[in-house]
Every structure is written in structure tokens, then in C-alpha cells.
């Protein structure tokens, strides 16, 4: 058997290489899962925007903006403030 570069490395270096080799698949799996989660979030983001674009096309953008302002005013008067005290 011919010697390899591993034969020249001290045990500490070989142990570090082993730790790295065992962590690589774990990190690659985590990266894959994060990539899938990011893709799901992108899809959800696009679906929300599409649904509101469709709603604006159906009901009119100005009507949706007016409704938002109306709901914001209701929330401003009825929802608790950050301190938990109601405005009324």
C-alpha cells in the first residue's frame, strides 16, 4: 500500500477532518430545508400579492384603499395602545 497524505497528518488534524466530514451532511441538510422554507415563503408572498391584485381588479384599488383607511381609523379608536390602556 502506498502512503497517502493522511499518513503524514497528526491525529489532531485527522480528528478535525473527521469532525468536518460528519458536519457537512448535517449542514447541507439544514441548507436544503432552509432553501425549501424560503421557496415556500416566496410562493406565499406571491400568492398574497396576486390575491390582492385580483381583488383590486375586481373591487377597484381606490375602494380597497378607502376600506383600509376606514379599518385603520376603527383600529386607532378601539384597539388597546401599547400600554394596554384603551383610548376611550
Residue ranges for the chain with pLDDT beneath 70: 79-88
Q: Return the residue matching grid coordinates 390582492.
A: 52
What's residue 33's pLDDT? 98
- CA–CA separation, 40 vs 61, rounded Å? 27
The reply to whether the predicted model has a pTM over 0.85 is no
pLDDT, residue 83, reads 59
Q: What is the pLDDT of residue 81?
A: 64
Q: How many residues make up the chain in this entry?
A: 88
Amino acid at each position: 500500500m502506498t502512503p497517502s497524505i493522511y499518513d503524514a497528518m497528526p491525529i489532531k488534524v485527522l480528528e478535525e477532518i473527521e469532525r468536518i466530514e460528519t458536519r457537512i451532511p448535517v449542514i447541507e441538510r439544514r441548507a436544503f430545508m432552509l432553501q425549501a422554507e424560503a421557496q415556500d415563503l416566496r410562493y406565499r408572498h406571491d400568492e398574497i400579492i396576486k390575491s390582492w391584485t385580483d381583488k383590486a381588479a375586481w373591487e377597484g384599488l381606490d375602494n380597497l384603499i378607502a376600506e383600509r383607511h376606514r379599518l385603520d381609523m376603527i383600529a386607532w379608536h378601539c384597539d388597546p395602545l401599547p400600554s394596554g390602556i384603551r383610548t376611550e
